[in-house]
Structure formats: structure tokens, C-alpha cells
Amino acid sequence: AIFPNIHSQAECEEYLEPFVNGFIQFEQLTNPIFSSKTEVDEQLDLYSNVYQCLDEGTAPQITGGEKLRSYLEYFLIFAGGLGSQSEDTTLDLVLLSSSDDPGVTKIRDEAGIEAPDGYIFVRSYNSREAMPPLVRRAFQSPDVAGVTILSRYIAVLAEEKKTWPQRALQLQTLPGTTSHELIHAYVNSILLPMEFDLPTWYSEGLAIYFSDSAINHTIITPNFSISNTSSAEYQSYDTAFKYLESKLGRERLLILIGQSIQEADPSILYQDLG
């Protein structure tokens, strides 16, 4: 069980101390960087205790306590499977520096954009009903197959299909869905959505361009608002990047994409057009 103990106030004060004294910043929750399963498990143990203290009401008062609780809940959901039965969900810890996903390979090796350190938490669910409420709300549309949350959390709907044609279609589309989300996580982990408000045409355009996958998609921002993208909007973003490539050439466009990410300035992509 994730929450095996009931904590005393003294224990909760000890668990909360790194947050109270600023040793652990909110950024470490919105963009958690871990490169080993041992690190993840250690942090999961600490965060589980902190979350339970906040949930029990035995924790000391802390500025931003409600936001902290929400950030902790996302980590526990994606790292520990909080809110779901183990048979209904799986976790893949993806290192972008070594991933052979086609979209990741393009942005990392072709565009030369250095992969951010640490894991991307890719959690798959076999149904919407299996998802905890914080995740399920992003899948309210029946067309949504994937969601990127904050910087490094990806949820993918991998429900079991009843008919062979449906299963065959899923085998074709599910890898593209995951690839699309990995590009979002790649860019978000570098630029951090808390610091840079990226326009949708840019973030979605990059995901489509590198993954070759225009899926119905949802993003949950650090302020917990939900941003949905329609099929028509996807088509326009896809067209925009194809236009840029036709005018600039692929090699030049890849260079400009790298510069735009490095400088957090999407306008770099079209400044050469005059």
C-alpha cells in the first residue's frame, strides 16, 4: 500500500521540513528529474508521507499547501499508481537520451536538440474508468487518446478493443500517440510551462512535425487548467509546419527549431520568411 501509516504531528513536521525551508522547490515537483529507479522509489516514499500528512490535516501550515498537495498527487499517480488498481495500469520510465522512439530520435538526433536529463513517466491505462479523477478529467472527450501533464507526466489510453479491426487500428495508432506525447514532454522539460507560455501552434506543431501524429490531445498546465486541441486546429498546425519546411528547407527549419527552443522564442521560426 502507498499509505501504510498514520503519522503524528512531529513526524509530519519532519517530513514537511524540506518544503518549509525551501530545500525542495515546487519546480522539483512540476519537473521531477530522476535517472534511476532507486531515486524514484526514495522520492515516492517521502512524497507519499508528505501527501498523507497533508491529507490527514496533521501537517504544519505551509504556504501554497493546496498546490503542493496537487503536485504531490500527480507524482504519486504517475510514479506510484495512486488511484488505480495495479492490473489496470502500467508505467514506463523513458530516458529521452536513449529512447528509440521515432519522434524522439528526430528531435534529438536530426534536429540536434539535447535531450533533457531524467525520466519521462509514461503511464498507460486500460480504460477511462481505471484512471484517477485528476487524470480522467483530461480524457472527457471520447477522441482524446493521450495527455501531457506539467512537464514529464504522460497518460495514454490503451484500452482493450473488442474487435480485430479495432485492435489492428490501435496497434497502428498507439505508438504515434505515445510519440506525440513524448515530444511534448521533451520540449516541456526544457522550456518548463511554468516559466514560458508557449503558443499552441508551436507546441502542437512541434509534436506533430516530429512524431508524424496529429491526435486529439489535452494538456494540463501547472495552474491545473485544461487545454484541448480540435482536429481542425491540428490540421492547421500541421499545415503551418509543412509550409515552413517548404519555404526554408528541412535542414534550415531544424536549425531554427533548435534556436527557438534554446531561446524560448517561437517567432524565430518565421522571421526568415520576411
Q: What is the pLDDT of residues 148-180, one digit of tens each?
A: 999 999 999 987 665 655 555 555 667 888 999
Q: What is the pLDDT of residue 109?
A: 97
Mean pLDDT, consecutive 10-residue segments, the chain of 274 residues?
Answer: 65 84 80 94 92 78 79 95 93 97 96 97 95 93 87 89 58 80 95 78 93 60 47 82 95 96 94 78
Q: What is the pTM of this model?
A: 0.86
Pair 150, 138: CB distance under 8 Å: no
Measured CA to CA in angstroms, residue 121 lies from 128, 152, 260 at distances of 18, 6, 25
* Distance (Å, whole) CA 270 – CA 189: 23
Percent of the chain with pLDDT over 90: 54
Q: What is the pLDDT of residue 5?
A: 57
Of 272, 218, 264, which is closest to residue 243 (Cα–Cα)?
Answer: 272
